Chain A
C-alpha cells in the first residue's frame, strides 16, 4: 500500500502542474469563476479553456488518437483532473458530451462520424446534450413516449424531453425515442444523435427551485433525423441508453462544497451560547460524521484508481458515491444555515459568511439527489447489481407498450 505515483506518473503530474501554473489562476478564497459569471460569459471562457487544454494534449487524454485523444492510460486523465481541481478554471459545459455522448459515439457511430464529431467535442467547439428523460418517464425512462417513424431515408420525431442540461447552447444531442408502441416497452426504442439546430426543435428553460435554469424542456415537432444518425439497430435503443447511463455514473463527479471543511470554518467564527460553535459537542459530532463520509468517498475513489492504474476493472464500490455525496450536501447546507441562527435565512452574498454558499446549496442540493438517478433508483441498483437481490416484479415488462396503464 502506498499513495505515491509511479515515477512515470510523477513525471506526468509535474509536467501538468507546470503547465497549469503557466496557463491558469490558482483557486483562491472567493467564489469560483463558474460561480462569478453568468452562463453566457462562462461558456465563452470555458470554450477557450477547453481548446487550450486540448491543444496541449490534456483533454480526454485517454481517448484514442483517431478520436482526438492521446491514446494514453486513464490514470493520466485522472491525474490531470486532480491537478486542475486546484485551479480556478471555467468548467461545467462539456461534462455530458465528453462523459456520455462521446463514449457512446465511440462505441456505435461509424468511423467517419467519429472523425467528424469527436475532435470538435474535445476542443469545446461543439457542445452536446442528452435527451432521455420525459415528463412521464424519469426513473422509468424506458416508459418514454417521444415517437419516431421512418419516412424514406429519414426518421420523423415528435414528442417532448425534459431536464436536458444545456440544450439551449448545445449543437448536438443524443436521443432515444419509441418507434413501435405495439412492442413491450424496452423493445420498441431506437437511439439517434441529432442536430439541435434542426427545424421543429423548440427549447424552453426550466426555472428551478433555486431560481436558476440549468435545464430545459425540449419539444419535437416533425423533426427529421437521417437514418445514418441512428446509433445501434432499430429496437436496440434501450441497450444503447443503458450503456450511456453506465458512463453517466462514472461521469457524475464529486458534490460541490460546502463540506466538513466549510462547516469547521463557519463553526469557528459563529457563537453558540456565547462560545465558538466549534466547541459544542453536537457540532463536533456532525463534523466528524461528514468527515468520515468525505474521507470514505475519497478513499473509495483511491481504491477505484488503484484498479484503473493497474489496468483492472474497478469493483462496484464506486456506486455509493452519489447517494452519499448528494445527501451530505443537503445536510451540510441545512446545518450551516442553522449555525447562523436567525440570520441564516438571509441569502444576500454580501451579507453572509462564505458568500451565502450554505444558503445557495440548501436550494440547489435537492436536485442533486434526483439528477443522474434518484437516491431510490441508485439503492435499487446497488441491491440488485451489487448485492444480487432479486429484481422488481414488473407488471409492464412483457405487455405491448400501448397496453401499459399510464394514469393519464
Chain B
C-alpha cells in the first residue's frame, strides 16, 4: 500500500508552490479581474510555458516532458491554490487531452508541441447556452468540413488559437478542430461570474474544420476527455478549497470580538472543522482519481466523478464560508474572498455541473454492479 505521492512528486509540488507564491499572489488574479483589456496574465503564462508545465504529461515525441499525470495533478493543485488567471485548464486538461485521445498522428504532431511549450492556446467548446448540453440537443453542425453554430461560454475562447468543437454531423456527435483565426469564425468576450478567467461567445459560419476522431463517436470521446479533465479540475478545486480554509483560519485567529479571537467561538470552530472535513474527503477522492488517471485504470470514470463531486462540494463550501467567517469585510471588493467564491463557481460548472457528475457516478456504479 502506497497511497502517496513520491518524494520527487512532492519536491515538484514544493517547487511549483514556491514559484507560484512569488509569481502569482492574489494581486495577479485581481489585476486580470479588474482589467478588461487583459484576458489572462501574459507574464505568468509565459513563465509557466518557460517552466514547460503545460507539457508535463504530454509525451516527449509530441514535444512534452512526458512525466505523468500524477505530476500534472501536483501542478494543477498548486495552480488552483493561487487561482492562477491563465488558460492552463483549457489548453492542457481539455485541448491537449482531446488531441491525445482522438487525434491522428498528424494532428498530434501539428498541435501538441505548441501546446506543450505554451506557445499556442487550445480550448474545447461544448456548451451552447443555459441548460445542459446533450447529444440530442446539439445545434452546432459539421457539414462537408464546415462548422456552423454558436458556442457559449467557451473558456479562453477569445484568446485561444484553436478549439475542439462538439458538433452534430450525419452520424451523430463528432469532434472537430477549428483554427479560431480562420474565416467564418467570429468571437467576443462574454462577462461571467469570474472575470479573472476569460470566456467567449464564438459563432461559426461555415468555418473550415477538421474531424478529430471518428465521425459519430464524438460524444463518447467527449466523455473520455471530460473524465480525465474532471480529475485535473478537481485538483485545482482542492487547491482553492485549501487556500480558503487557510485564509479563514488566519482571519479567525487574528480578528477579535467580544474580547476574544473569533476562532475561539464554537460557531466559528465548527464551521472551519466542517471545511476541513470536506477538504479531506475531497483530497482522498482527488488522490484516488489521480491514481486512476495516471494508470488509466478501469475505475477512472467512477473515480473521476467522485473526485469531481467531492471537489465541487469542498470548494463551494470553503469559499462561501470563508466570506461568512470574514463577516462584512468579506463582502467588500477589496477583500480577496470573492476571488475564490467566483472561481469556485466557474470551476464547478466548467465541464458540467455537480448534478450531471452525480448522475454519471451512479451510472458507473450500476455498470460495475451489472
Contacts and interface: CB of A to CB of B under 8 A. Distances in A.
A300 B278 CA distance: 12
A371 interface: no
B284 A291 contact: no
Interface string A1-23: 11111000100000000000000
Contacts of B285: 292, 295-296, 299
Contact of B3 (A1, A384, A393): A1
Given A1-B4, A306-B3, A306-B4, A296 B280 contact: yes
A331 B201 CA distance: 43
B306 A291 contact: yes
Nearest to A265: B369
B249 interface: yes
A3 B252 CA distance: 39
A379 B2 contact: no
A75 to B, nearest CB: 8
Contact of A281 (B70, B306, B355): B355
A310 B3 CA distance: 11
Interface string B269-293: 1101110110011111101101100
B253 A389 contact: yes
Contacts of B310: 292, 296
A189 interface: no
B170 interface: no
A355 to B, nearest CB: 21
B316 to A, nearest CB: 13
B261 interface: yes
A376 B270 CA distance: 8
A317 B305 CA distance: 22
B230 to A, nearest CB: 13
B27 interface: no
Interface string A382-399: 111011111111000000
A295 B263 contact: no
B287 A379 contact: no
B178 interface: no
Q: Tell me which of A5, A9, A305, A389 has the highest count of chain B C-beta atoms within 10 A of its own C-beta.
A: A389
A211 B45 CA distance: 65
B1 interface: yes
Contacts of A306: 1-4
A320 B264 contact: no
Interface stretch (A25-33, A127-135, A234-242, A282-290): A282-290
Interface residues of A, number: 51
A202 interface: no
Contact of B366 (A4, A278, A305, A392): A278
Contacts of A289: 309, 358
B1 A302 contact: yes
A380 B5 contact: no
A302 B4 CA distance: 9
Nearest to B281: A296
Interface in A364-408: 376, 378-380, 382-384, 386-393
B306 A292 contact: yes
B260 interface: yes
A387 B266 contact: no
Q: Tell me which of A260, A323, A379 has the highest count of chain B C-beta atoms within 10 A of its own C-beta.
A: A379
A390 B4 contact: no
B35 to A, nearest CB: 35
Nearest to A323: B277
Interface residues of B, number: 49
A300 B277 contact: no
A264 B369 contact: yes
A391 B264 contact: yes
Nearest to A305: B1
B1 A309 contact: yes
B213 to A, nearest CB: 29
B139 interface: no
A15 to B, nearest CB: 17
Given A302-B1, A390-B260, A295 B273 contact: no
Nearest to B266: A380
Contacts of A75: 1
Given A303-B3, A306-B2, A376-B266, A288 B309 contact: yes
B94 interface: no
B361 interface: yes
A295 B309 CA distance: 12
B227 to A, nearest CB: 15
Nearest to A284: B362
A136 interface: no
Given A300-B280, A300-B281, A284 B4 contact: no
Contacts of B282: 296
A307 B5 CA distance: 12
A287 B365 contact: yes
Contacts of A386: 276
A293 interface: yes
B2 A387 contact: no
Contacts of A323: 273, 277
B260 A393 contact: yes
A221 to B, nearest CB: 38
Given A296-B310, A305-B1, A288 B361 contact: yes
A9 B1 CA distance: 9
B264 A393 contact: yes
Contacts of B253: 388-390
Q: Tell me which of B270, B306, B362 has the highest count of chain A C-beta atoms within 10 A of its own C-beta.
A: B362
Contacts of A284: 358-359, 362
A293 B245 CA distance: 19
Given A2-B2, A390-B263, A295 B288 contact: yes
Contact of B269 (A1, A298, A309, A383): A383
Given A5-B1, A306-B4, A390-B253, A297 B365 contact: no
Contacts of B269: 379-380, 383-384, 389
Contacts of B283: 300, 317
B3 A285 contact: no
A271 to B, nearest CB: 17
Counting from the closest, the 9 A-B pairs by CB-CB distance are: A296-B281, A383-B269, A299-B284, A288-B358, A379-B273, A389-B263, A302-B3, A382-B273, A390-B264
30 contacts: A2-B2, A3-B1, A3-B2, A4-B1, A5-B1, A264-B362, A264-B365, A284-B358, A284-B362, A287-B365, A288-B306, A288-B359, A288-B362, A292-B285, A292-B309, A295-B284, A296-B310, A299-B287, A300-B281, A303-B287, A317-B284, A324-B281, A380-B270, A383-B270, A383-B272, A384-B269, A388-B253, A389-B264, A390-B263, A391-B264
Given A296-B280, A390-B261, A390-B263, 7 more contacts: A1-B70, A296-B310, A302-B1, A306-B2, A379-B274, A382-B277, A390-B253
